[in-house]
Amino acid sequence: MDSIAQTTSGDIELDGVFRAGLREVPHFPIDGILFKDIAPLLAKPGILTKAVAAIEPLVAPLQVESIMAIDARGFVIVAALADRLGAGFVMVRKPGKLPGKVHSFDYTCEYCSGRLEVTEGALQPGLKCLVVDDLLATGGTARATADFAKSLGAEVIGYTFLIEIEALKGRERLDDAPVVTLLRC
């Protein structure tokens, strides 16, 4: 499927702020990884509002009913985006973080593998879902999240990330729905 290739919403100032606000942390969380930290970026007043305002018109035509946010930096974006779109917010968490009955599924990313959980009943067949995280690297976590949603009968209608590391080609694993990113590195 064609992707929505977006480096910004046409706002060059936003692109510059994003690039300047990213902090690169060598060898985190393991040796050999250059971690892209969005915390300094989000500490700037108004940047979250600008980022969500740039994303909203790109995903609104998809008629999102629920947004699946991947633990934990994805939560920051999704809370504001879900509010603007009038959509639900489904937390995809690491084990032991959600109370009650949960569904579990495995994932593999660029530096580890593990399990993620979603509260039972949060996804229903036919629900139109957007998968969101802060960063697209290899696409492993987003792919596993989408596959899990589909296994419950939900429809994955798109993927959204603040940042995409193009060299890792994660977009290629997400070829079943549009991919929206604000900044490609």
Q: Which residues are known catalytic residues?
A: 73, 110
| Beta-bridge partners for 119 | 102
Contact 130, 177 (CB under 8 A): no
H helix count then E strand count, the chain = 5, 9
Distance of alpha carbon 96 from the chain centroid: 21
User: Concatenated DSSP letters for 150-182?
Assistant: HHTT-EEEEEEEEEE-GGG-GGGGGTTS-EEEE
Sign of CA dihedral 78, 60, 141, 35: negative
Contact 138, 109 (CB under 8 A): yes
Q: E strand or H helix at 128, and its extent?
A: strand 128-136
